[in-house]
Amino acid sequence: MQYWLMKSEPSVFGIDHLAKCVNQTEPWDGVRNYQSRNMMRDEMKPGDQVFFYHSNCDVPGIVGQMEVKSQGYPDFTAFDPGHRYFDPKSDLDKPRWFLVDVKLKRKFKRTIPLSLLREQAVLKDMKLLQRGNRLSITPVTKGEWAFILTLAS
């Protein structure tokens, strides 16, 4: 099993949106970064654990926990000209963009703010906290995962 952190803007798709989805499960669509795409396509597996991170908001931070429920598969939104994530260069025979399905496991009682994560010496090497990191998906080590769960208690 692997551990991940996936970012989304709560005004676009937040943890409360996921909670309202059928079976609290939804495709994580719209990722248009090749590194993040590769993680979903090649590395993520069903059962992997994910932190849900709210970005671009008043208090960015980790707001809950999800589980990967599918292997990576082509992001259908790339083929729909009416969708905001449409990519005219994406081809059904050779898809450019991929996604995974995620399921909500739990919403934390409070946000674990980015500012608090930055204060933790044990998290100094966490990918999320590295200068210049703007990826919407980052790996999380088992140690980082376990420590962050203590902050969520």
Nearest to 26 by CA among 35, 36, 16, 38: 16
Tell me which DSSP letter residue 22 carries: G
pTM given for the model: 0.95
**SS in 3 state form for 104-123?**
EEEEEEEEEEHHHHHHCHHH
- Over the stretch 4-25, which tens digit does the pLDDT of each residue have? 999 999 999 999 999 999 999 9
CB atoms within 10 A of CB 33: 13
- For 93-151, write each residue's pLDDT tens digit: 999 999 999 999 999 999 999 999 999 999 999 999 999 888 999 999 999 999 999 99
Q: What pLDDT does residue 132 have?
A: 87
Instruction: List, for residues 44-101, the tens digit of each pLDDT value.
Output: 999 999 999 999 999 999 999 999 999 999 999 999 999 899 998 998 899 999 999 9
CATH 3.30.1050.10 fits 3-152, yes or no: no
Q: CA 49, CA 65: separation in Å to the nearest integer?
A: 7
Name every residue whose Cβ is closer than 8 Å to that of residue 134 and which is 6 or more positions away in sequence: none
